């Protein structure tokens, strides 16, 4: 399944349509781009005057031994330098604005598209894939567009201006020089393409090598106990040698590129020196003009190699462009027939849920529910129990409308939830995950996620209600304590208390709670249990339960097995049935008491 997301190989030729579509995203910077283009034309004009200064110095000052024009010459040269200075500073600045601006716009647009996508999309798409599109691929587009226009405008203008100037100076020599340009350009493009191809291989090998080091370190214990050190090293040596071969190939190609172009340019130089020299001897060309020609041809390789690199990069960047467009063209699959309007904001959910003959299966997976029906009363607390893979998580996914059933209806307060704005459902819903997700930031921000306009006092109150206040106040900085990436500086139990506080603040009508299976330290465990009871009060609650203390207290327990409710009732009813629930409970109970006994024993 993941293979879909491996980088595709693109060997196709330049696709102008695709690049036009990319250019459309640069339209907000139309003005800047026009100015940049004009600036690059000016730059090219300035650059092409420099050899004329040499010509003037030779023909008008040195040969006639006349210094009268020297002051004007110096001043004019100074003007060119100063104008150049301002111009360069300005165009780099502007190009940077366009590049970063375009990247920023694309990132925002893509992110908004991503946010509208349903959870199913995220379950199918690796995080790394999305991140790579949003970071390096988008950066590449901005880079190619902004700096590409710089290179194109400058290169084209320079070639045209130099062409015109030299044609006026001596058309035969000028033609000779201009003939060389396409040859250099062709070789340049062919070369760049081959280079990029090898570099792509090198990049892939590089990620394999990184992976090997990852295995070497993550798998250290396994490698040691299996005594696989040598076998691993031998495999790595093969990979490493392949890396060496390809890197050297890439390095040799790139080492050859500039010298080759310069050799070609020197052929032009030799020809100009020869034919120009003869013309000069015959009096058809001044020495100054000959020198100007020599300067022109010596610098002609620059615009050409720039444009060649641009074309190669564009071809290579095509894959990036296509991938970014897949993000921009995303269409959410879960949408409501009724749009959100402000009248919804005031409505309260009663939270009576009905599963009406629904069937559901994941794409390219097995069916989870087949003709499943169930009614959850307003204010009822319901526990789902059963082994992994029996549909508890899917049940939660369906209620939260992360996924929708393929047939049948789910009714909220009597209305098919497809006809209710998604935003309203989610605004009335609270959700606590097994391992609660926290965001990098302060504790305050994380609790406030439940209700964005809550005051600091309200946040503290919510934390007090779930007894999270105590541990928070012990942290350095208390509520401003930074929880680290994904909240990793806190324990699972602490994260859970914060998630409860978040829910208290949100005050939802419907609460969905996925209990942690991982063992939480005993001290926090008690707090978590108490907090859970508190947040369940006065609302409909659905709990994926793992702990006995939770199970015993709910109104109704559903014993799930392979997408079906096999037993249903209160705790004592189910125990008396002596069925699956009974066995599960016995196992669990034994386990929990054994754990407790062992811990208590250890505390003696």
- Give the footprint of another protein on residues 194-253 (CB under 8 A): 206, 209-229, 231-233, 236-237, 240-241, 243-244, 247-248, 251-252
Q: Which of 182, 339, 373, 439 binds another protein (CB under 8 A)?
A: 439
Q: Would you say 178 or 260 has its CB closer to another protein?
A: 260
**Angle at alpha carbon of residue 512, lines to 509 and 516, rounded to 5°:** 145
Per CB under 8 A, contacts with another protein among 451-480 are 452
Q: Is 582 in the site for another protein (CB under 8 A)?
A: yes
Instruction: In whole angstroms, give the CA distance from residue 312 to residue 191.
Output: 9
What angle do the packed helices 138-169 and 30-56 form, to 10 degrees? 30
| Residues near another protein (CB under 8 A), total | 157
Position among 26, 130, 141, 159 found at the interface with another protein (CB under 8 A):
130
Residue 575 sits in the site that holds another protein (CB under 8 A): yes
The verdict on 442 binding another protein (CB under 8 A) reads no
Residues numbered 249-288 forming contacts with another protein, rule: CB under 8 A: 251-252, 254-256, 258-260, 262-263, 266-267, 269-275, 277-278, 280-281, 287
The count of residues in the chain is 604
**In this complex, which beta carbon is closest to another protein, that of residue 174 or of residue 315?**
174
| Residues 210/327, Cβ–Cβ less than 8 Å | no
Q: According to CB under 8 A, which residues from 45 to 64 bind another protein? A: 53-54, 57-58, 61-62
Our finding on whether 35 is near another protein (CB under 8 A) is no
Contact region with another protein (CB under 8 A), list: 101-109, 161-169, 411-419, 453-461: 101-109
Residues 91 and 39 sit within 8 Å (Cβ to Cβ): yes
Cβ-contact 257, 289 below 8 angstroms: no
Q: Quote the least distance from Cβ 213 to another protein, whole Å.
A: 5
Site for another protein in 366-405 (CB under 8 A): 387-389, 400, 402
In the complex, what is the shortest distance from the CB of residue 523 to another protein, in angstroms, rounded to a whole number?
Answer: 14
Q: Answer yes or no whether residue 594 interacts with another protein by CB under 8 A.
A: yes
CA 124/CA 121 separation, integer angstroms: 5
- Under the binding rule (CB under 8 A), the answer on residue 111 touching another protein is yes
CB of 87 to another protein, least distance (A): 8
For position 431 contacting another protein by CB under 8 A, the verdict is yes
Q: Compute CA distances 390 → 394, 551, 565, 580, whole Å.
A: 9, 17, 10, 13
User: Does residue number 433 form part of the binding site for another protein (CB under 8 A)?
Assistant: yes
Which of 148, 188, 303, 430 is the binder for another protein (CB under 8 A)? 430
Nearer Cβ to another protein (280/550) = 280
Determine which residue in the list 157, 173, 291, 308 makes contact with another protein, applying CB under 8 A: 291
The helix (H) or strand (E) run that includes residue 556 is strand 556-561
- The four Cα atoms 576, 580, 584, 585 give a dihedral, to 10 degrees, of -10
Nearest to 309 by CA among 228, 193, 393, 208: 193
Using CA atoms, how far apart are residues 13 and 420, in angstroms rounded to an integer?
A: 48
Whose Cβ is closer to another protein: residue 171's or residue 244's? 244
The closest of 158, 177, 181 to 169, measured between CA atoms, is 177
Q: Least distance to another protein from the beta carbon of 515, Å?
A: 15
C-beta of residue 514 within 8 angstroms of C-beta of residue 452: no
Strand order, beta sheet including 367-376: 367-376, 353-361, 407-412, 415-416
Tell whether residue 415 is a contact of another protein (CB under 8 A). no
Residue ranges in 328-367 that form contacts with another protein under rule CB under 8 A: none
- Determine the Cα–Cα distance for residues 560 and 389; give it in Å rounded to an integer: 10
Asked if residue 120 lies in contact with residue 406, where contact means CB atoms within 8 angstroms, the answer is no
Radius of gyration of the chain (CA): 36
* Stretch near another protein under the rule CB under 8 A, chosen from 12-20, 33-41, 107-115, 533-541: 107-115
Both tokens assigned to 545: 């339960």
Contact pick of 8, 17, 65, 348 for another protein (by CB under 8 A): 65
Which residue, 226 or 530, has its beta carbon nearer to another protein? 226
- The owner of tokens 């050409």 is 304
């Amino acid at each position: 399944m993941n293979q879909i997301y491996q980088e595709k190989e693109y060997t196709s030729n330049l696709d102008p349509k695709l690049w036009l579509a990319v250019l459309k995203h640069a339209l907000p910077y139309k003005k800047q781009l026009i100015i940049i283009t004009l600036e690059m034309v000016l730059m090219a004009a300035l650059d092409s005057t420099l050899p004329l200064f040499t010509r003037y110095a030779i023909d008008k000052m040195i040969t006639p031994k006349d210094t009268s024009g020297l002051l004007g010459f110096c001043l004019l040269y100074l003007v060119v330098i100063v104008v150049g200075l301002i111009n360069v500073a300005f165009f780099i600045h502007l190009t940077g604005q366009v590049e970063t601006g375009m990247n920023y716009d694309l990132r925002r647009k893509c992110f908004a598209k991503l946010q509208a996508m349903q959870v199913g999309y995220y379950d199918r798409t690796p995080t790394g894939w999305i991140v790579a599109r949003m970071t390096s691929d988008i950066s590449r587009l901005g880079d190619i567009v902004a700096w590409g226009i710089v290179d194109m405008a400058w290169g084209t203008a320079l070639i045209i201006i130099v062409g015109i100037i030299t044609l006026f100076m001596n058309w035969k020599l000028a033609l000779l020089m201009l003939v060389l340009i396409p040859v250099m350009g062709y070789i340049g493009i062919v070369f760049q393409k081959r280079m990029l191809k090898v570099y792509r291989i090198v990049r892939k090998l590089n990620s394999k090598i990184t992976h090997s080091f990852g295995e070497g370190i993550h798998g250290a214990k396994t490698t040691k106990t299996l005594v696989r050190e040598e076998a691993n090293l031998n495999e790595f040596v093969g990979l490493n040698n392949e890396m060496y071969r390809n890197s050297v190939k890439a390095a040799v190609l790139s080492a050859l590129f500039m010298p080759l172009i310069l050799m070609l340019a020197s052929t032009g130089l030799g020809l100009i020196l020869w034919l120009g020299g003869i013309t000069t001897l015959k009096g058809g060309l001044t020495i100054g003009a000959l020198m100007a020609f020599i300067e022109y041809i010596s610098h002609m390789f620059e615009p050409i190699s720039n444009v060649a690199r641009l074309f190669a990069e564009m071809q290579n960047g095509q894959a990036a462009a296509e991938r970014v467009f897949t993000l921009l063209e995303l269409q959410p699959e879960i949408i409501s027939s009724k749009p959100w309007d402000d009248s919804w904001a005031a409505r309260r959910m009663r939270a009576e849920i009905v599963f009406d003959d629904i069937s559901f299966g994941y794409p390219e997976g097995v069916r989870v529910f087949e003709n499943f029906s169930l009614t959850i009363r307003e204010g009822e607390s319901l526990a789902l129990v059963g082994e992994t893979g029996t549909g508890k998580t899917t049940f939660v996914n369906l209620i939260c409308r992360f996924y929708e059933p393929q047939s049948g209806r789910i009714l909220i307060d009597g209305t098919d939830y497809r006809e209710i704005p998604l935003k309203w459902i989610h605004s009335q819903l609270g959700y606590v995950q097994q391992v609660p997700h926290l965001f990098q930031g302060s504790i305050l921000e994380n609790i406030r996620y439940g209700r964005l306009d809550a005051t600091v006092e309200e946040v503290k109150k919510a934390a007090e209600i779930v007894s999270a206040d105590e541990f928070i106040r012990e942290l350095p900085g208390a509520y401003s304590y930074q929880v680290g990436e994904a909240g990793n500086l806190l324990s699972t139990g602490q994260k859970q208390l914060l998630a409860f506080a978040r829910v208290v603040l949100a005050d939802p009508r419907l609460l969905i709670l996925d209990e942690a299976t991982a063992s939480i330290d005993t001290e926090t465990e008690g707090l978590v249990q108490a907090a859970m009871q508190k947040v369940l009060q006065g609302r409909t609650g659905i709990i994926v339960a793992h702990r006995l203390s939770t199970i015993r207290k709910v109104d109704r327990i559903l014993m799930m097995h392979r997408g079906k409710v096999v037993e249903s009732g209160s705790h004592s009813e189910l125990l008396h049935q002596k069925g699956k629930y009974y066995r599960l409970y016995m196992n669990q109970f034994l386990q929990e008491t054994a754990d407790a006994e062992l811990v208590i024993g250890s505390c003696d």
